[in-house]
Structure 1
Amino acid sequence: MPNNSNPTKRGGSNPQIGEVMSKLHLFSNARAMQSFMQSQERGFLPKCMLLGEFFAEVIVVRGKVKIPSFLRKIFLIEVLKEFNFTQKDLELLFFERNFLGFLETSPFLLQFFNELNQHKLSIKDIPQKDIYGDYEDHLRVLEEIEERYEQKLGDRGFYDFAKEYEILDEYLSAFREIEIYLDGFLSPYEKEILEKISSKVPLFFHLNIDRYNQKHFEFLCKLEPDYSYKISFPSGEIVEKIPHRLLALPKAYGCELRVEQCSFVLQRIEEWLEEGIEAEKIAVILPKEDFKDFLLATDRVRNLNFAMGFEYEGLKKEIETLALQEGGGLEEFIQRVRECEIPQSLGVSIDEILYAYERIGEVMRTLSFKEIAYLFLEEIENLRLDDSKGGKVRVVGVLETRGMELERAIIVDFNQENIPKITQSDMFLNSKIRSALSIPTLQDREELQKHYYLEIFKRTQRVELVYIEGHLAPFAKEVGVKSFERNNYTLFAKGKEIVYKEDEITLFLDREFRFSASNVKMFRECKRKFYWRYLKKLKESEEEGSVALSVGSLLHHFLFLAYSQNPSGAKEVFERLVFEEIERGSDELVKMELGLALRYMQHFFKIQSKNPKILELEREFEFMSEGFRLWGRVDRIEEIEGRVRVLDYKLGKSNTIEPIQSAFYGLYAREKYPSFPVEVGFYFINGKKLCLDNKLEEHIAELKTLLKEMIEEREFEKCTTRSSCRECIYKILCNR
C-alpha cells in the first residue's frame, strides 16, 4: 500500500496538513522568518524558507554545482596569480603581486562581479563618459579577470552566478502557492526568476511601503506609503491593503558620553520588566556593533543576550601561530586544525570548510602552508559563538530587527554619523555611473536603512532613542520625533562638585624663545592654548599619526631622496620609491593614498624644470631677525631665472596660502640669499596646483607685528569662539 501520509505532498491524507504545507512562505532574512513562525498558532508550522535558499533549490545549471562561498576566493586568487599584469594595470587597480594582496582584493572584485550580474549587466555596459582617462583600461582588465574566473570554475564543474539556468518544475510541483515577504531591494535578476516561477505557481509579495522604499516597488503598481500590501506578481493586482502606521512617536534622550547611555538602557529594562513586559519582547538595537562592549561591561545581572554572538579568539590565535610556522601543505594543515580546541557550536562550520579544501585538493596544493593558514583565517573571521549564558532581552543590530514584533525597544547611538550609516566599499562604480545603470546608489542604500528604522518604529509599541548631545540624527525629526529630554540616570554615584579656579599666569616670553610658524599660528588662534603648550610645556601624548600625516611624510622623504640623488631624473626615482613602498607596506589605506598621490604628482613633474638648480632640500634653519630667534624647516629652495624660490609641498587640494609660514620662509631666504629677489610658493599635490604668495611683503609685516605682540603679552586670554575648543586637548584646563 502506498504511504499517503507525507504532509509535503499535495493531496495527502490530512487535508488540513496538506493545505498548510502546500503553501510556501519565503523571507528575506532569518530573523523575519523566525518571528513569523513564532507568531503561528499551535499545530503544524507552515513551510518556510529563506529566499536565497529557495533560489538555490529551484535553479538548476546542468552539469555544474554552485560553488561554496568560501571557495570563491581560492579560484579568483588562482586567476590573479596567473594574470599577466602590466605595470600600468597594477597602478590602475592597486593590486599587490603577492598572495596576501590578492586575498585582500578578491572580496571587492567578487562583490563587483556579483552586483553587475544581479542587474543583468556586463562590464561592457558600463558608460565610459565623464570618467578618468585610464578607466577604459581599468574595465578591460576587470573584464578579462571575470572571464578567466568563470572559465576556471567551469573547468572544475562549478558556477558562481547562474547566467544560464533552468527552473526545476518538480520542486515547484509540491506547492500550490508561494508568498514572499520582501524587505529590501529586488534585483532585475531575481525578478526574472520570480516571473518564470509565477507562470507555474501563483506568487504573491508582502510589502510594507513607506516614503523611503516606495519608488523601488513602483514596477508592481501604484503604491501608497504607510500601508502593508499583498500583491499578486507579476500582474500587480492588490489582494490586500492594510494601514501600517506608527504605533507611537519615539522619545529621544540625550547623553554626554557613550557609556552614559548604558545607565539609561539598564534602568529602562529594569522598569519594563517590573511592569510585566516579557523579556523576549524587549530589544536593545545597536547601529554600531562596538557598543556591545559597553553593555557587556555594565550588565552585571546579565539580562542581555547578544544576538550577534562573540568572536572565538582562541582558534584565531592558534591559526595565527600556525601561519608563522613552516608546514608541509594541505594535509598537514588540516591535521593541525583538527588538533586545535574547537567549540562544538563551530565544529560543523569548520568541518565544511576543511572538507571543501580537500575536495579541491589539486588547487589547494598549489598554495603554501602559510597561504592556506591566511586563507582559513579569512573564512573563520565571521564565525561567532552564541551567547549561551545571557538573559532574554535581545541585543541586536539594525538588520536583525527585520520582521521582529516588539513591545519595547531602545536604539542607542542615534547620532547623525550613524543614521543612516552606509559603508562606501565599492572601488569601481561611483553614484553617477550607478544611476546611469539603474543600480542602487549610496542615497538609495541610505533610504533603505531609513526604511528599516521606520519599520522598527511601526512594529514596536514603544521606542526610545538615546543619542550624544549635539549629535542627534536629523532622521529623528524627519519622522516627527518631538520629545527630547536629558538622561537623568547614572551608572555611578555623583561625585563631589569641583569648583573651577582660573590659573594664574606666571610665565612670559623673552627674546631667547624660538619662534616657529606653528607656535606663532597657535598664538594667533588661541593665546591660552599657546600658553599651555609652549610656556607650561603641557604636550599632547604621543599617538599614531593620521593616514594623511603618514602619506605626507613619505612623499616629502621620497621627493628629498629623488632630488638629492638625481635632480634631472627625479621623476623616475620618485616613482620607483613610491612603488617600492606600496609593495612592502602593510597599511592598505596608506598604500591606496600613495597610489593616488603618484597620479597627482605627474602634473608636478610636468611643470618642473628639467635641470633644476637646487640650493637646499629639507633644511632646518634658525636665525635672528630684528632681535627675534626664528626657527623652521624648508622643503626646498631653488634658483629660477635669477630668483630664489622657496617651495613647500602640501598633500591636500586647498590652494589657500598660510601667511605666517610664507613669511617665515621669505625672511629666511632673504637672510640666506640677500642678493636675490625672493618668492615663496606652495604646491598642493592633490589639487595639482602651484600657488605663489603675491602678498609676501604684507605677510612679513603681519608676522613682525605678531612677534612684538607675543613678547608683550601678559594675559594669554582664551579664544572667544568656543567652537574651536571642541577638539582642543586643553579644554578641561580652560573649563570649556
Structure 2
Amino acid sequence: MQNLDKLYIFTNSRKIREFNAKFQNELVPKAMTIAQFEQKAVLVPGRFEADEAYALVLMQRACASVREASERLRIPSEFFAFLKNNDYLFSFFKELAISKKSVADLKFSDIYADYEEHLGILEAVLARYKELLAAENLYDGIVLPEIYELNGGFVKEFGEINLEVDGFLSEFEWELFSEIAKLTTLKIIFQTSKFNKKLILKLAEISGIDASEFSLYGEFELNLSSRELKKTGVLRKNPLVLKRSFSARSLQAAYAMAKASEFVADGIKPKNIAVILPDESFAEILRLHDRGKMFNFAMGESFTRTRFFQILKCIVTAINDKIRVNLSEDNYPNFNEFEFNLNEFGVSGELFAKFKNGFEAPCSFEDFRALMEEILALESDHAAAQKTREELFYAQSLARYFSFTLRQICEIFLIKLARLRLDHVGGGKIGVMGVLESRGLKFEGVIVLDFNDDLVPKRSVNEMFLSSRVRQKAGLIGYVDRENLQRFYYESLIGGAKKAAICYAANEEKIASRFLGEFNAVEDARYGDESYAALFNG
C-alpha cells in the first residue's frame, strides 16, 4: 500500500513500460508521461481547448488581418497556401509562450535591429490571434502558460510526486512544478554531466542549493519541497566505443545487423540492445534489409507506405502532372508507370475519372468522404483504414470553415497523412528508435548509425528563424544549449551500455560528427566493407 499515493512522471511511455515491468506480484504505482500529467495538472476556467483545425483557421485570420504579414513576411493570405506553410508560426509562438517570453523581449535583445520589422509584424499577428481565441472562450498551447490555473485538487491526490528529468524543462514547466512542490512532496530525479550544466544551474536556482553540490557524473534526487539533495549513484565517464566508417551509407544497415549479432553472442539479450537513428528515415533502409526480422521499429512505419496513401498520391500526381491514364484492358500492353501502378492497386477507370472530372471543382466534404471510402475499399490493412477514417474528422473540421476544390482537399489530406506513423508489428526484439525516443532509457548494447556532422546535432526550425545571439540574450534555448543536450543524450546512452558501436558515412559529401571526439572511440577494423556487403546477399 505504500506506493499507492505516489506518482511517477517520465519523459515517454516507453520509460513507463520499463518502470512497470519492475513490479512483480505487487501493486504498480501510478505513472504518467509529463505531457499526460500537465494536461491534468492545469485548468483554464471558462475556456475550452481549440481543436487543431480551428486553431489553424484563427491563425490564418490573424495573419490576414495584419497586412504586412503577407507583404513583408510572405505569409500566404490564401487559406490553402497557408495550410501548407503554417508550422513555423505555431512552433515559434509556442516556444515563446513556454519560455515565458514575449516578442518584446526579442526586440529588446536584438541590439542591431536585424529583425525589428519582422518581429513587430509577428507581435501584431500574435496579439490578434490571442484576441480571436479570447473572443470565443478558447485556448491553446500558445496562450495556456499565461492563463492557466494549477489544479490543486488533482495534485493533492498524491502524497509524493517523483519527476524524472532527462533533458530541459521549459520555464512554464519549472514554474508549474515549483508551485506543485508547495502542495505535496516533489522529488526530481536527474543525472549530471558536463553537457547539462544548464539543468544544474536551474535546479540550483529554484532549490537555493549551491551549484557546487551537484557534482558531475552523478545520479541525484532533489526534494524540491524540503530543499534536500541526495546523491544516489555515480555514472561512468569516457566509456569505450567502437567506430566504423563506410563510403556507402547503406552498408551501415549491415553493420547494425552484424554488431547486434555479436552483442547477442557475447551474452546480451536482444531486448537489451538498441539501434539509434539520428535520421529516422534510415529505418526504411534498415527495414529493407532486415529479412531475418531482427528489429522492432519504435517509430513505427510511415503512413506513406500504405496502399491507401499510395493510391491517392498516384491519382493526384497523375492528374496534376497531366499524365495520360487509360485503365482499360485493351490498353494494358501500353501501360505507363502510373497506369500499371493504379491497375495493380485495383483502381478502376471509373474511380480515376471521378477524380479527374471533378478535380478543380468545389467539393463538399460528403463527396470527398465518398471518394475516400472507395479507395479504402482497396486497403487491406485494418489499422491503416482506421487511421484514415480518424483523420477524415480533421478534413471535416476544415470544411466547416472553408470551401475547397477536390484537388485542394486531396493535397491537404495527403500532407496530413504523410506525418502519420503506424505501429510496427511482427518485428524482432532489438529496438530501433530515434535519439529522443531513447531519452532516459538504458541498454546493455547500443549501436548508433548515421553519426554524421549534418545529422548530429540536429537543428530546429526555430533556430533558423533567429540568430543564436538574439536567442541567448532573450533567454531562449540556443543552438549551443541544444547541441549540448544532444551530446548528453548520446553520452547517457553510450555511458550506460556494456558495449557500444558508432558508424557513419565518410565520402566526398559526408564527414563524421564532431561529437565523435567526445568519446573514447577506437577503430572497428575487424571486417572489411566486402564482408558487410556480403550480408545483404546471405
> If the length of structure 1 is used for normalisation, what is the TM-score?
0.59
Equivalent-residue separation in structure 2 for 1:144 and 1:319 (angstroms): 39
Aligned to 2:366: 331
Q: Distance in 2 between matches of 1:129 and 1:184?
A: 26
Q: 1:420 to 1:136 in 2, by over 3 A?
A: closer
Report the equivalent of 1:472: 512
1:190 deviates by 1.0
Change (3 A) 1:293 1:311: closer
Q: 2:97 aligns with which of 117, 130, 138?
A: 117
Closer, same or farther: CA 304–170 of 1 in aligned 2, 3 Å? same
Distance in structure 2 (CA, Å) of the matches to 1:129 and 1:165: 27
Distance 1:475 1:116 in 2: 29
Residue 464 of structure 1, CA deviation = 1.0
Residues 143/235 of structure 1: CA separation in 2 closer, same or farther (3 Å cut): farther
Check if 1:433 corresponds to 2:413.
no
Distance 1:115 1:366 in 2: 32
User: Alignment partner for residue 139 of structure 1, among 119, 125, 140?
Assistant: 119
| Map 1:5-44 → 2, pairs under 5 A | 16=1, 19-44=2-27
* Cα separation, 2, equivalents of 1:331 and 1:369: 11
Q: Is the 8 A contact 1:70 1:353 kept in 2?
A: no
Is 1:94 the counterpart of 2:111 in the alignment? no
What's the CA shift for 1:396? 1.2
Q: What's the counterpart of residue 335 of structure 2?
A: none
Deviations 1:165-188 (A, max 9, x none): 222222223211111111121111
What per-residue deviation string (whole Å, max 9, x for no partner) do you get for residues 294-341 of structure 1?
Answer: 322322212122222222333334555469453532333344444542
Mark the CA change 1:65 to 1:127 in structure 2 (over 3 Å): closer, same or farther. same
C-alpha displacement of 1:377: 2.9
Indicate which of 382, 403, 410 corresponds to 1:344.
Answer: 382
1:34 partner letter: R
After superposition, residues 179-578 of structure 1 pair within 5 angstroms as 179-221=162-204, 222=211, 223-233=214-224, 236-246=227-237, 248-313=239-304, 314-320=307-313, 321=316, 324=359, 326-341=361-376, 343-346=381-384, 349-355=387-393, 362-363=400-401, 365-426=402-463, 428-469=465-506, 471-483=511-523, 485=525, 487-488=527-528, 490-492=531-533
| CA distance 1:374–1:157, change in 2 (3 Å) | farther
Offset at 1:233?
1.8
With over 3 angstroms needed to count, the CA separation of the structure-2 counterparts of 1:287 and 1:149, relative to structure 1, is same
**Any idea what the Cα deviations from partners look like across 1:194-251, whole Å, max 9, x if unmatched?**
1221111111111111111122331222222211111012654203431122494112
CA contact (8 A) 1:247 1:460 kept: no
Look up the equivalent residue of 1:404 and give its one-letter code.
L
Percent identity (aligned): 27
Aligned to 1:152: 132
8 Å contact from structure 2 (residues 274, 447) kept in 1 = yes
Is the Cα–Cα contact under 8 Å of residues 263 and 499 in structure 2 kept in the other structure? no
Equivalent of residue 61 in structure 1, options 37, 41, 44:
44
Number of equivalenced pairs: 473
Matches within 5 A, 1:158-169: 158-160=138-140, 161-162=143-144, 163-169=146-152
Kept after mapping to 2: 8 A contact 1:35/1:403: no
Q: Deviations over 1:79-112 (max 9, x none)?
A: 33x42524xx435312233334312331111111
Other structure's SS at 2:240 match: coil
1:23–1:47 CA contact under 8 A, matched in 2: yes
Give the superposition deviation at 1:113. Answer: 0.8
- Counterparts of 2:480 and 2:16, CA distance in 1: 28
After superposition, the Cα gap between the structure-2 partners of 1:206 and 1:355, relative to the gap in structure 1 and judged at 3 Å, is same
Instruction: Give distance in 1, aligned partners of 2:383 and 2:494.
Output: 34
Q: Which has the higher helix share?
A: 2
Over 3 Å counting, the alpha-carbon distance change for 1:248 and 1:372 in structure 2 is same
Aligned partners of 2:240 and 2:521 also within 8 Å = yes
The 8 Å contact of residues 109 and 474 in structure 2, kept in 1 or not, is answered as: no
Q: 1:183 and 1:472 mapped to 2: Cα distance?
A: 26
What is the rounded CA distance, in whole Å, between the counterparts of 1:198 and 1:141 in structure 2?
Answer: 39
Identify which range, 339-348 or 218-227, moves more after superposition: 339-348
Is the 1:26–1:48 Cα contact (8 Å) retained in structure 2?
yes
1:280 to partner: Cα distance: 1.0
Change beyond 3 A, Cα 1:152–1:340: farther
Rounded Cα–Cα distance in structure 2 between residues aligned with 1:129 and 1:248: 40
Q: Indicate conservation of the 8 Å contact 1:220/1:236, yes or no.
A: no
Q: Kindly state the Cα deviation for residue 192 of structure 1 after the two structures are TM-superposed.
A: 1.1
- CA shift, 1:128, in A, is 4.7
Greater shift after overlay, 425-434 or 42-51?
Answer: 425-434
* SS state at 2:222 partner: strand
Letter in 2 for 1:332: D
Calculate the aligned-residue CA RMSD, in Å. Answer: 2.8
- Secondary structure, counterpart of 1:254 in structure 2: strand
Contact kept, 8 Å, 1:253 with 1:486, in 2: the verdict is: no
**Relative contact order (alpha carbons < 8 A, sep ≥ 6): 1 or 2 greater?**
2
**Deviation by residue 1:572-610 (Cα, 9 ceiling, x = unmatched):** xxxxxxxxxxxxxxxxxxxxxxxxxxxxxxxxxxxxxxx
- The 8 Å contact of residues 5 and 157 in structure 2, kept in 1 or not, is answered as yes
Alignment-mate amino acid for residue 345 of structure 1? A
Q: Hey, what's the Cα distance between the residues in 2 that align with 1:485 and 1:202? A: 52
AA aligned opposite 1:298: H
Change (3 A) 1:199 1:334: farther
CA distance in 1, matches of 2:394, 2:277: 35
Q: Distance in 2 between matches of 1:57 and 1:492?
A: 52
Report the Cα distance in structure 2 between the residues aligned to 1:152 and 1:261, rounded to whole angstroms.
51
Deviation at 1:438, TM superposition (A): 1.0
**Equivalent pair of 2:303/2:419 in contact (CA under 8 Å):** no
**Amino acid aligned to 2:268:** I
Q: Return the alpha-carbon distance in structure 2 between the equivalents of residues 347 and 127 of structure 1.
A: 48
